[in-house]
Structure 1
Amino acid sequence: MSSTPVEVDAAVVLLGASVTAITHPLLYVKLLIQVGHEPLPPAAGTTMFGRPVLYLPGFFSYAQYILKVDGKLGLFRGLSPRIVSSTISTVVRGKIKRRELQSKKDEHQNSFRKLVQETSHEMIFQCLSKVATHPFHVMSVRCMAQFVGRETKYSGLFSCIMKIFKEEGLSGFYIGFVPHVLGEVLFLWCCNLLAYFINTYAVDDSFSQASTIRSYTKFVMGITLSVLTYPFTLVADVMAVNNCGLAAGLPPRFPVFKSWLHCWNHLSIEGQLFRGSRLFFRRAPVTLPPSVED
């Protein structure tokens, strides 16, 4: 029996929620690294060329530390807001995918004008999706960041909503929204445009595997650009925690930022714009010895 669209959507949402739950410990550790929480000392190691270097704890060591402090459930702190956010995003992506498939049926030509039109529509859907999901992202980030100072300010989903609205108003749900959206929009346009130009001008139709290469171009571009646009994600997460009453976002760990540009500039000066982008083989930052004058 063929499945109805409602059944397919329900299955996709359920699958998305399951993936979110499974990968949550990864994002939890990543968030703690983003806010600069390093509770474990670095370990001595060597590079592939035999050069001695200090490595900060990787994901597994960090996760074991969280297990030791909070138990197994501690790895899933802040999961419920992420599941709500994931469900909304999954529904939006499903609608975008259906629109793309319908567009391919209606028009077979691969024109640049068509690319711009489709990307513009996708951008609008993505921005509307972020408007709906960003409040849950802020709640999830703050729940996870409580691990740093052992606070219990943000506990449940409804409790988070009431706490943020009471203390910061509606604007509190959209702290860090601008860099988050800018990163998504920049990623979307660059990925689609680069994939289009590579598939159109770099891949020769006479090559036997041309169709296979074209099918993977966008995927490869996405991996590359996700690294380049990572600073937007970092700034958005740091801003979501900054000056909200948690130790993870207050001095001396972070100054109180006036705007996300102030945050970006601060992280850039410290050379930390890509902090948290790697969960394995993390080198300890080099600290210069004090000068004679000091």
Structure 2
Amino acid sequence: MADAASQVLLGSGLTILSQPLMYVKVLIQVGYEPLPPTIGRNIFGRQICQLPGLFCYAQHIASIDGRRGLFTGLTPRLCSGVLGTVVHGKVLQESGPGNVQKEGSSSFDQVIKETTREMIARSAATLITHPFHVITLRSMVQFIGRESKYCGLCDSILTIYREEGVLGFFAGLIPRLLGDIISLWLCNSLAYLVNTYALDSGVSTMNEMKSYSQAVTGFFASMLTYPFVLVSNLMAVNNCGLAGGSPPYSPIYTSWIDCWCILQKAGNMSRGNSLFFRKVPFGKTYCCDLRMLI
């Protein structure tokens, strides 16, 4: 019980701290660019035309809604985090205590069993918390059109149920689930391969090295599965009655596969992945005269 409470408190703290970052990321993902590009330099020192990063974007939001506005959507996101932590822990507990690996017995069969167990727990948590995730995204995206359709948690639930029915609460669920599952299997499989074949078991800091390899492979897996996150978020706000989920900001997608194909064709599968070094997307026409700095 104490461990669960500490996980909830820690998760809630991290959620609060990261809320402005997620807010900016979501607005960029839907293609909202309220600020013109600026002149910057790449890692080679060459002048380039780039879009404003996280801090400029956050400052723009704060200039309109105040600093408090940077925490729009925090309540449903906190509900999602707390509920997800509880469900995840309960499912793991009910599925039985995982087999503790003995030293030197890190077989791939054990990795499969542990990964399957974790996959079931994560999928259950995602399924239960996705309605709160949808409300979080829509409350953020309404900044674009200055709407107030999804302001309160209860009002948002009633609005979605009235306009879209039960299925509205699960918009974008399939790509989100697929992304989580693929990322988990990639991370654990790569970590197993690295720990088994790349690291020397005789090293005194073996456990520490394995933890580092797990973090690195997790980051690598999340990068590869980012398109699923992007498609899921776009489908969650697609055609929901908000300006940010409708043309000209966003086309009306018929399915998440249609969304994937359109983004891939336009070369936008990584949109929102970077918040600091943001190059101007291909095909966009911005006025950014590099000669002004010469």
Residue 115 of structure 1 deviates from its aligned partner by: 1.3
2:266 match:
270
Residue 106 of structure 1 deviates from its aligned partner by: 7.4
CA–CA distance in structure 2, aligned partners of residues 229 and 214 of structure 1: 22
Q: Given the superposition, is the C-alpha separation of residues 142 and 182 from structure 1 closer, same or farther in structure 2, using an over 3 Å criterion?
A: same
Q: Which amino acid aligns with 1:137?
A: H
Q: Given the superposition, is the C-alpha separation of residues 100 and 55 from structure 1 closer, same or farther in structure 2, using an over 3 Å criterion?
A: farther
Q: Which of 134, 142, 152 is the matching residue for 2:148?
A: 152
2:246 match:
250
Query: What is the SS of the residue equivalent to 2:80?
Result: helix
1:261 aligns to 2:257 (yes or no) = yes
Q: Which of 173, 178, 181 is the matching residue for 2:174?
A: 178
1:26 aligns to 2:21 (yes or no) = yes
CA–CA distance in structure 2, aligned partners of residues 279 and 243 of structure 1: 26
1:143 aligns to 2:139 (yes or no) = yes
After superposition, residues 62-101 of structure 1 pair within 5 angstroms as: 62-94=57-89
- The two structures have a TM-score, normalised by structure 1, of 0.91
Query: What is the SS of the residue equivalent to 1:285?
Result: coil
1:17 match:
12
After superposition, residues 228-239 of structure 1 pair within 5 angstroms as: 228-239=224-235
Identity of aligned residues (%): 47
CA–CA distance in structure 2, aligned partners of residues 66 and 253 of structure 1: 18
CA–CA distance in structure 2, aligned partners of residues 161 and 30 of structure 1: 24
Residue 101 of structure 1 deviates from its aligned partner by: 11
1:111 match:
107
Moved more, 105-114 or 208-217: 105-114
Residue 95 of structure 1 deviates from its aligned partner by: 5.0
Q: Given the superposition, is the C-alpha separation of residues 217 and 92 from structure 1 closer, same or farther in structure 2, using an over 3 Å criterion?
A: farther
CA–CA distance in structure 1, aligned partners of residues 102 and 189 of structure 2: 19
Q: Which of 32, 36, 49 is the matching residue for 1:37?
A: 32
1:168 match:
164
Residue 94 of structure 1 deviates from its aligned partner by: 4.1
2:278 match:
282
CA–CA distance in structure 1, aligned partners of residues 83 and 66 of structure 2: 29
CA–CA distance in structure 2, aligned partners of residues 59 and 10 of structure 1: 32
Q: Is the 8 A contact 2:62 2:69 kept in 1?
A: yes
Q: Given the superposition, is the C-alpha separation of residues 98 and 220 from structure 1 closer, same or farther in structure 2, using an over 3 Å criterion?
A: farther
Q: Describe the superposition over 1:211-251 as per-residue Cα deviations: whole angstroms up to 9, x where unpaired.
A: 32122211110011111110000000001111001010111
Q: Is the 8 A contact 1:100 1:118 kept in 2?
A: no
Q: Describe the superposition over 1:57-76 as per-residue Cα deviations: whole angstroms up to 9, x where unpaired.
A: 11111111101101122111
| Structure 1 unaligned spans of 5+ | 290-294
Residue 34 of structure 1 deviates from its aligned partner by: 0.3
Q: Which amino acid aligns with 1:19?
A: L
Q: Which amino acid aligns with 2:43?
A: M
CA–CA distance in structure 2, aligned partners of residues 217 and 93 of structure 1: 24
Q: Which of 113, 122, 126 is the matching residue for 2:122?
A: 126
CA–CA distance in structure 2, aligned partners of residues 100 and 110 of structure 1: 20
Moved more, 123-132 or 7-16: 7-16
1:292 match:
none
Query: What is the SS of the residue equivalent to 1:258?
Result: coil
CA–CA distance in structure 2, aligned partners of residues 105 and 287 of structure 1: 53
Residue 201 of structure 1 deviates from its aligned partner by: 1.8
1:221 aligns to 2:204 (yes or no) = no
CA–CA distance in structure 2, aligned partners of residues 43 and 226 of structure 1: 29
| Structure 2 unaligned spans of 5+ | 286-294
Residue 112 of structure 1 deviates from its aligned partner by: 1.6
CA–CA distance in structure 2, aligned partners of residues 212 and 106 of structure 1: 16
Q: Which amino acid aligns with 1:229?
A: T
Residue 25 of structure 1 deviates from its aligned partner by: 0.4
Q: Is the 8 A contact 2:95 2:117 kept in 1?
A: no
Q: Describe the superposition over 1:144-188 as per-residue Cα deviations: whole angstroms up to 9, x where unpaired.
A: 000001011111001110000010000000110000000000001
Residue 195 of structure 1 deviates from its aligned partner by: 0.7
CA–CA distance in structure 1, aligned partners of residues 21 and 31 of structure 2: 16
